[in-house]
Amino acid sequence: MTVITEETYKYSAEFLISKLPQEFQQVDLGVICGSGLGGLVDTIDQSTKVEFLYKDIPGFVASTVVGHAGKLVFGHLGEFRTPTVFMVGRFHCYEGHTMLQCTLPVRVMALMGIKSLIVTNACGGLKSEHKVGDLMIINDHLSLPGMVGNNALIGANIEFFGPRFPAVSDAYTYALRKLAFKAAFEVGISPNDIREGVYAMVTGPSFETRVEARYLATIGADVVGMSTVPEVVVARHAGIKVLGISLITNDVVRARGKDAKLEVMRELGLTDKIDTEEDTEKTFANHAEVLETSAMRSNDMQRMVIRYADLLAATLI
Ligand SMILES: O=P(O)(O)O[C@H]1O[C@H](CO)[C@@H](O)[C@H]1O
């Protein structure tokens, strides 16, 4: 296991601070941009923005996924010009990174002063009432890797950040979820296009089998993705408040699929039963579809995040 010490995090933060103008040496808000959702940084004041490629920051690993630019951007967000740090592209375990490597930027952001983190992601919808393109405010998560031995906090606890056994039952606080819905409605997102629910994390990179999808829905998940949870756990451990926003980019195939045996028996006249199961062969999940939906809906998500940052800056939450 890669060991990352308190000094490693501090070294990365000090590196950034030494290169940043004073206005960004301490930031209030962090934003992690999910697949295809990095366009948010195009909405910030371009004249004050400062960018670092991940490959140039000590301790950071490389971002290898299409739709994840691989840069850390500092800028002013919204009308209140909140000093914000954006991860434009995140790290995933399926890229070969450990959870500690994937979450290193969150601790670096903690050292740079963030009090609040907005985590966004692209995900697959598991419920028939969801539409592709819907937004979902996360109200809880189901960490499949975390439950079976791959929790982001495994290893020596760094007391400097937080306690050995942090509670995450309130990771997605009610007050912030309310603020997010307020932001969404104020920017004109229809209540029919935004919901609240449970995000399940799997490691990927293969998408779910049909039975895995049914299993996830049965055990309480509304959507599934391959990120977010490690970042949230590490942020909550460090006392950072979290808002999670998912964009449902595709429908996860759940139908059982046609019964081959029955079909052959019917063709040979051995039975007259007909398989009524829907044929979903054409709807495989794929990353191109994920990026396509992100591109279609990223504007709404951006407007909502900007409004949320302003509401947050205007409240004492
Ligand atoms: O969670 P983000 O980074 O948004 O990306 C999602 O999209 C990719 C699959 O298309 C996976 O990486 C999944 O986690």
Question: What is the distance in A from the centroid of ligand 1 to the CA of 237?
Answer: 23
Task: Say whether 141 is catalytic.
Answer: no
Categorize the per-residue pLDDT at 196 as very low, low, confident or very high, splitting at 50, 70 and 90.
very high
pLDDT of 281 over the 60 cut: no
Query: Which amino acid is located at 1 in the chain?
Result: M
| pTM, 2 dp | 0.93
Known binding residue 128? Answer is no
Q: Which residues 6+ apart lie within 8 Å of 56 measured at CB?
A: none
**Which of 31, 32, 35 has the most ligand 1 atoms within 8 A of CB, as the residue to mutate?**
35
Does ligand 1 come within 6 angstroms of the Cβ of 92? yes
User: Where is 245: in which H helix or E strand?
Assistant: strand 241-251
pLDDT of 62 over the 80 cut: no
Q: Is 222 helix (H, G, I), strand (E, B) or coil?
A: coil
Query: Which amino acid is located at 57 in the chain?
Result: I
| pLDDT score of 127 | 94
Tokens standing for residue 162 = 């937080």
Task: Say whether 97 is catalytic.
Answer: no
| pLDDT score of 316 | 64
Question: What is the distance in A from the centroid of ligand 1 to the CA of 160?
Answer: 31
Average the pLDDT over 33-46 and give the result: 87
| pLDDT score of 283 | 65
In whole angstroms, give the CA distance from residue 152 to residue 230.
5
Known binding residue 184? Answer is no
CATH pick for 24-315 out of 3.90.220.20, 3.40.50.150, 3.40.190.10, 3.40.50.1580: 3.40.50.1580
Does ligand 1 come within 6 angstroms of the Cβ of 121? yes
Query: Which amino acid is located at 148 in the chain?
Result: V
pLDDT of 69 over the 90 cut: no
Question: What is the distance in A from the centroid of ligand 1 to the CA of 249?
Answer: 10
Known binding residue 250? Answer is yes
> What rounded mean pLDDT belongs to the chain?
92
Q: Is 125 helix (H, G, I), strand (E, B) or coil?
A: strand
Q: Is 166 helix (H, G, I), strand (E, B) or coil?
A: coil
| pLDDT score of 279 | 59
Task: Say whether 94 is catalytic.
Answer: yes
Q: Is 52 helix (H, G, I), strand (E, B) or coil?
A: strand
Q: Which residues 6+ apart lie within 8 Å of 68 measured at CB?
A: 33, 35, 38, 88, 89, 90
Task: Say whether 226 is catalytic.
Answer: yes
Average the pLDDT over 82-102 and give the result: 94
pLDDT of 4 over the 60 cut: yes
Does ligand 1 come within 6 angstroms of the Cβ of 35? yes
- Tens digits of per-residue pLDDT, 209-268? 999 999 999 999 999 999 999 999 999 999 999 999 999 999 898 888 888 899 999 999
**What residue ranges do the domains of the chain occupy?**
24-315
Classify residue 15 as exposed, middle or buried by CB count within 10 Å of its CB (0-12, 13-18, 19+).
middle
- Tens digits of per-residue pLDDT, 137-158? 999 999 999 989 899 999 999 9
Task: Say whether 250 is catalytic.
Answer: yes
Question: What is the distance in A from the centroid of ligand 1 to the CA of 265?
Answer: 41
pLDDT of 20 over the 70 cut: yes
